[in-house]
Structure formats: C-alpha cells, structure tokens
C-alpha cells in the first residue's frame, strides 16, 4: 500500500505489511492464518490457491467497534478480498449495534454504552437513515422504534457475513503507531486488547486502524456554579430510560436538542411539571400542556435552579440534555509525560499535559495566534519551521501524540476532513461528525478511507493536511463558535459527502436524501409532537412524496 505524498504503495510497503500480518504477542490466541482461512471459504476453488499466496500482500485492518460505523467498515473491507484481509472487529459488548442496543441503567457504570431510552423512535425517517446498499423493511413506518434499527443492523451483519470476524466482549486497551525515529505517515499500528475471561491481554500489529467507537458514551455536563449544593436529583439524558421514573416530580431539562425535546414531551403526562431550558432563537412550536420554556440554567441553590434571566425554578430533578464528549481511552498516553528538563537533556521536544509551559513555547520558537471563543480563548501555536504544532486548548504537542480528545471543548485535533489522522493517515475516525444522517455518512467515509488505503485516492502530505486542519480550526474560531461545534456539519454535510464521493470515485448519495432531510427538519421544527406521523416515499433519486397521517400526499 502506498500513499502519494505519504500514502504507501504495495511494493514499498510489502515488507512492513508482511510483519504486520504475522505479529502477535505474548498471551495472544489469534493468528492471521485463521482469518485467511475464513477468507478462503468465500472464494471459489479456482481462486483459493492464488489468494492464499497473496495473503501477506494484503492489508490487515483493525476496526474498533461493532456499531453501525464498524459494521459498515467491515462490510466494505470484506467486499475487497484482493486488497484487504478479513478485518478484525473489536467489540467490547456481546452483540452488534453499539448505541442502538437498549440497556437498563446501571448506577455504577459511568461509561455505559447505550443511550437508548425505552420509547425512543427515530427523529429521521428510515428512508434517509438506511445504508445505500441495504434497505429497511419497506412495510415499516418511516419513523421507527429503536428496536427496529437494531434488528436492521443485525440483518446487515448477517447479510454481509460480518459476524465471524467480530471479537465480542473484547475491549481495546491501547492503540499506538509503530514509529521509527522521526517517522510519520505510513506506519503500522500495535493494538492491545483484552477479552473477558482471558487471563492475558493480546497485542497485535495492523496496517491500518478504523476507529468506529461512536461518541455517545461519555456525557458532557457543564460546570454550573452552586450545582454541588443542589439537593435534587441530577441526571444526564444518557441515563434516562422511561417517564414513570419521574412521576409527580418537578423536572427541569437543560438543552433543547432532539433528546431534550423528546424527553420533555414524554415526561409531560407523568411529571408534576416540566421546564425546558434552552439558549438561542425562540422555538417555532407551542409546548403542550405541562411543559414550559425558560432560559438556560446558570446557577443553583440547595432547592432552586437559577436561570439566565434571574428566574428561580423549584425542582426535584435536573436532567442534562447537553450532549457528549469524545471518549477514546485506548488512545490516551499510557506513560506519564516526560518533564521538560529530561526532554531538553535528550535534545527532544517535551510532551506536556496541562497548559504548555512558556519555556516550551520559547524553546521551539512557536508563533502564537489567538481567537476568542464563547468562553475564554484558544491559542494555536505553530513553530517557525512549520513542523511542530500545539493547540493550547488541546494541551498536547501534536507531533508527539496520537489523537487525544480535548476534555474542555470536546473536539478532536489533527483530523483531515473530519476523518483521517493528519500525521498518521493509516488511522481514521468514522462517524466523528455530528448533526448528520449517520449511516450514509459512515458509508461515504468508509469508502473514502479504503480508497486511500488502496492508493486510489492520493492525500496531501502530513504537513499539508495538518495545516489545512488548523486553517479550518482558525476559521471556525474566527466566527466565534465554540470548539465543541468543530465537527458539526449540519447543512455542510451534503457538500462534504459529495466531495468524498467525487474525490474517491464512488457513487454519491442521491439528492433525494437531502430533500427528505430538510423536509423532516422543517416539519420537526414546526411541530415536534406530530412530525413522526408522516410517511416518506422515495419516487426517484431526485424526488420523494410525504404522506400525512390523514393520507394526504405531498410531493417534495
């Protein structure tokens, strides 16, 4: 495999790949030969011997997560056996589906994987949500219960024979590039994992890593002055399951995104009263009986929550509907950072956790640019020779680490096109983008990344990709937007998906997807209590029809 300007080619990479294909370490029970055997079963007898000889010229890819993104990655890796070995899919739970697996709340599991609540129905029609190459059951309504989405993913898994390649109950504990001195770019990866019940961890080598671990496992809870004195119940929507839990409670919800609105409407018949606090433009819909609107909560006393306008709300429960942080613990540094003195003695750049010391800034000749954001400021530091970068909000010297999510602002540094690691382009993050149609986005991102690995889609050099990602970050901050919105695509998702398709040479998503998405968002903003009663019908790649509950059709 070869990257043009840092993407590897099969000839130049074959020796490294041969090593990556065979390496397992102490305690490992997995060998490449078993994967090769599984592949051979899918080939005709005439092809089998030829492909067996090619085994060590094909790329070995690790897929982290067996949710929708990981399943999509595995499906397309399996579809190209001439280039890729069967993938190894690591799944920490015992089943496929990721966030679509409903689980009861565990008070002790702070990083519980599922965010599903019992009565959740999709806020996008299934006609938008489905993968381009696999349809939902056409007899289902457009807006379906979460259990139907899980069933769809299970059928997708079995239809493309993905299950044999998934290691269930197997958690990835560490992922690190295998570096030579000063090397970036086409590096192999060491992936360490631990299977439940096994006494030993396993470390293996892969040619590429696809991180498909989602971003709905670590709740984001804003810092509200006095909240530690509040004597009511504090809960993130991640742990909400059903409305009966709050019968006769006075409930305040902070956040007016889809989850906040849905939970408020579901609580209304059960709670004593429900207050939905939000910031921004006035809502276009009138809340139903039992639900009132208020400005955001900015303070708390033992019995009251204080709104931005000074209003005090008496409440039994505060539910944070405030989103999630990126959480990839397997990418965090396993060793403590070396101190500045030790690094200087070795003639190296220090790896620092916390604010970057002035001594480091001065020593490596960083140039400082400041952009104001909603809270505080962000400083992007670039060395004079343009080879070293630092984001003071991220607090890591970027040429020494993999990707460590920024705890305070919730963004991922170093990503080229919200997808590929700029310094190590054999790693990608499928589905890091927010406010998108997820399954089709996964499809486009997976096909783009595999085209890169195949050498069909040349990338810029690591330095060029890094510069572009920083330019995007600076433009974002110049608009006064918080860093946590960096990966929000919203209306930009259509141009983004089309760029991926055009650049990598695969069929773009049909324009009707955009039309249905915009129609759905318009209906939802006008009346979130009724929009799920509409039925969407695709007429062509360009057109669709919407049928209301009264069976009145409207072509859009």
Half-sphere exposure of 386 toward its Cβ, with a 13 Å CA cutoff?
9
Query: Same domain, yes or no, for 227 and 207?
Result: no
Tokens matching residue 302: 């033992």
| Residue 480 maps to a domain | no
Q: Are 502 and 495 in contact (CB under 8 A)?
A: no
Whole-angstrom CA distances from 449 to 446, 458, 467 are 5, 11, 20
Sheet hosting strand 170-177, strand order edge to edge = 170-177, 189-195, 202-206
pLDDT digits (tens, 9 = 90+) for 435-472: 899 999 999 999 999 999 999 999 998 888 888 888 88
The answer to whether residues 80 and 229 belong to one domain is no
Same domain, 339 and 385: yes
Element spanning 480, H or E:
none
Q: What DSSP state is assigned to residue 246?
A: G
Residue 493 CA: distances (Å) to CA of 246, 459, 497: 37, 20, 6
pLDDT at 178: 87
Any residues with CB less than 8 A from the CB of 63 and at least 6 apart, and which? 70, 73, 74, 77, 87, 88, 89, 90, 210, 212
Q: Is residue 539 part of a domain?
A: yes
In a domain, 286, yes or no: yes
Residue 439 lies in a domain: no
Percent of the chain whose pLDDT exceeds 90: 52
pLDDT score of 340 more than 70: no
Q: Tell me: do 104 and 204 sit in the same domain.
A: yes
407 has pLDDT over 80: no
At 156, is the secondary structure helix, strand, or coil?
helix
The residue behind tokens 């009724």 is 530
**What's the average model confidence in pLDDT over 233-243?**
93
| Polymer length in residues for the chain | 556
Same domain assignment for residues 39 and 143: yes
pLDDT recorded at residue 168: 97
Residue 384 scores a pLDDT above 50? no
For residues 313 and 345, membership in a common domain is answered with: no
In a domain, 180, yes or no: yes
Residues 44 and 109 in one domain: yes
The sheet carrying 312-314 orders its strands as 297-300, 304-307, 312-314
Instruction: Show the tokens assigned to 93.
Output: 């739970």
Do the beta carbons of residue 528 and residue 143 sit within 8 Å? Answer: no
Q: What is the mean pLDDT of residues 505-534?
A: 92
CB of 61 within 8 A of CB of 87?
Answer: yes
- Which tokens hold the place of 472? 């995007």
| Start-to-end C-alpha separation, the chain | 45
State which of 177, 211, 245 marks the end of a domain: 211
Burial degree of 309 (CB within 10 A; 0-12, 13-18, 19+): exposed
The pLDDT confidence band at residue 556, using thresholds 50, 70 and 90, is low
Mean pLDDT, rounded, for 515-539: 91
Question: 């609105």: which residue's tokens?
Answer: 261
pLDDT (average), residues 469-478: 84
3-state secondary structure of 381: strand
Whether 226 and 311 share a structural domain: yes
Identify the pLDDT of residue 6. 31
- State the DSSP H helix or E strand holding residue 458, giving kind and residue range, or none if neither: none
Centre a 10 Å sphere on the Cβ of residue 289 and count the other Cβ atoms it contains. Answer: 7
In a domain, 369, yes or no: yes
Asked if 149 and 159 touch (Cβ cutoff 8 Å), the reply is no
Domain boundary among 297, 322, 347: 322
Same domain, 34 and 67: yes
d(CA 98, CA 106): 17
Q: Is the same domain home to 152 and 95?
A: yes
Output the pLDDT for position 220.
Answer: 86
pLDDT in tens, 19-76: 454 444 444 434 443 443 433 343 333 333 333 333 458 999 999 999 999 999 999 9
pTM reported for the whole predicted model: 0.79
- Band the pLDDT of 498: cuts 50, 70, 90: very high
Q: Residue 27 falls within a domain, yes or no?
A: yes
Give percent above pLDDT 70 in the chain. 72
pLDDT of residue 552 exceeding 90, the answer is no
In this prediction, residue 402 has a pLDDT band, given cuts at 50, 70 and 90, of: low
Which residues touch 540 (CB under 8 Å, ≥6 apart)? 512
Domain ends where: 289, 322, 355?
A: 322
Domain membership of residue 276 as a residue range: 221-322
Distance separating alpha carbons of residues 115 and 96, to the nearest angstrom: 15
Which candidate, 108, 102, 329, places its Cα nearest to that of 213? Answer: 329
Please check whether residues 227 and 195 belong to one and the same domain. no
Separation of alpha carbons 210 and 191, rounded Å: 11
Q: Is 168 helix (H, G, I), strand (E, B) or coil?
A: coil
304 and 367 inside one domain: no
CATH number at residue 52: 3.50.50.60
Residue 14 lies in a domain: yes
Number of domains in the chain: 4
Range of lowest pLDDT (56-65, 72-81, 219-228, 275-284): 275-284
Q: Measure the CA–CA gap between 6 and 245, rounded to whole angstroms.
A: 54
3-class state of residue 380 by DSSP: strand
Give me the sign of the Cα torsion angle 314, 319, 321, 327. Answer: positive
Which residues make beta-bridge pairs with 381? 368, 390
CB neighbours of residue 199 within 10 Å: 7
Q: Determine the Cα–Cα distance for residues 406 and 412; give it in Å rounded to an integer.
A: 7
């Amino acid at each position: 495999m070869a990257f043009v300007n840092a993407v590897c080619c099969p000839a130049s990479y074959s020796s490294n790949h041969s090593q990556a294909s065979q390496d397992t370490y102490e305690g490992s029970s997995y060998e490449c030969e078993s994967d090769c055997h599984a592949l051979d079963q899918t080939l005709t007898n005439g092809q089998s011997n030829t492909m067996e000889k090619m085994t060590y010229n094909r790329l070995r890819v690790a897929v982290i997560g067996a949710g929708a993104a990981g399943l999509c990655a595995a499906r397309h890796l399996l579809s190209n056996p001439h280039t890729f070995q069967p993938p190894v899919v690591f799944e920490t739970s015992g089943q496929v589906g990721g966030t679509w697996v409903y689980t009861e709340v565990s008070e002790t599991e702070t990083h519980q994987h599922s965010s599903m609540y019992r009565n959740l129905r999709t806020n996008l029609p299934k006609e938008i949500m489905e993968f381009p190459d696999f349809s939902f059951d056409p007899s289902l309504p457009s807006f379906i219960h979460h259990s139907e989405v899980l069933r769809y993913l299970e059928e997708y898994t079995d239809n493309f024979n993905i299950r044999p390649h998934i290691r269930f109950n197997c958690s990835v504990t560490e992922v690190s590039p295998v570096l030579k001195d000063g090397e970036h770019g086409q590096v192999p990866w060491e992936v360490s994992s631990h299977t439940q019940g096994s006494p030993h961890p396993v470390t293996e080598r892969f040619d590429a890593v696809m991180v498909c671990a989602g971003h709905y496992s670590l709740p984001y809870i804003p810092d509200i002055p006095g909240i530690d004195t509040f004597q009511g119940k504090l809960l993130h929507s991640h742990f909400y399951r059903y409305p009966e839990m709050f019968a006769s409670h006075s409930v305040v919800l902070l956040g007016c995104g889809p989850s906040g609105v849905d939970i408020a409407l579901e609580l209304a018949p059960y709670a004593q009263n429900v207050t939905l606090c939000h910031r921004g433009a006035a809502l276009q819909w009138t809340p139903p009986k039992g639900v009132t609107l208020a400005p955001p909560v900015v303070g708390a006393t033992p019995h009251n929550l204080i709104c931005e306008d000074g209003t005090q709300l008496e409440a039994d429960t505060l539910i944070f509907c405030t989103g999630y942080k990126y959480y990839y613990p397997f990418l965090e540094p396993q060793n403590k950072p070396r101190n500045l003195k030790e690094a200087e003695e070795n003639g190296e750049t220090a790896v620092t956790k916390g604010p970057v010391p002035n001594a480091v800034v001065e020593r490596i000749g960083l140039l400082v640019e400041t952009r104001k954001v909603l809270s505080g400021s962000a400083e992007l530091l670039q060395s004079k020779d343009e080879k070293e970068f630092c984001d003071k909000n991220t607090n890591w010297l970027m040429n020494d680490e993999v990707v460590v999510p920024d705890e305070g602002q919730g963004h991922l540094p170093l990503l080229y096109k919200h997808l590929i690691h700029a310094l190590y382009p054999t790693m990608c993050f499928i589905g890091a983008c927010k406010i998108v149609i997820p399954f089709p986005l996964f499809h486009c991102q997976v096909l783009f990344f595999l085209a890169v690995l195949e050498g069909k889609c040349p990338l810029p050099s690591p330095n060029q990709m890094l510069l572009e990602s920083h330019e995007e970050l600076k433009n974002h901050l110049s608009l006064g937007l918080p860093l946590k919105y960096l990966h929000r695509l919203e209306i930009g998702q259509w141009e983004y998906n089309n760029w991926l398709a055009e650049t990598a040479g695969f069929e773009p998503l049909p324009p009707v997807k955009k039309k249905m998405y915009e129609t759905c968002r318009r209906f939802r903003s006008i009346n979130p209590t009724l929009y799920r009663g509409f039925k969407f019908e695709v007429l062509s790649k360009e057109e669709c029809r919407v049928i209301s509950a009264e069976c009145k059709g409207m072509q859009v």
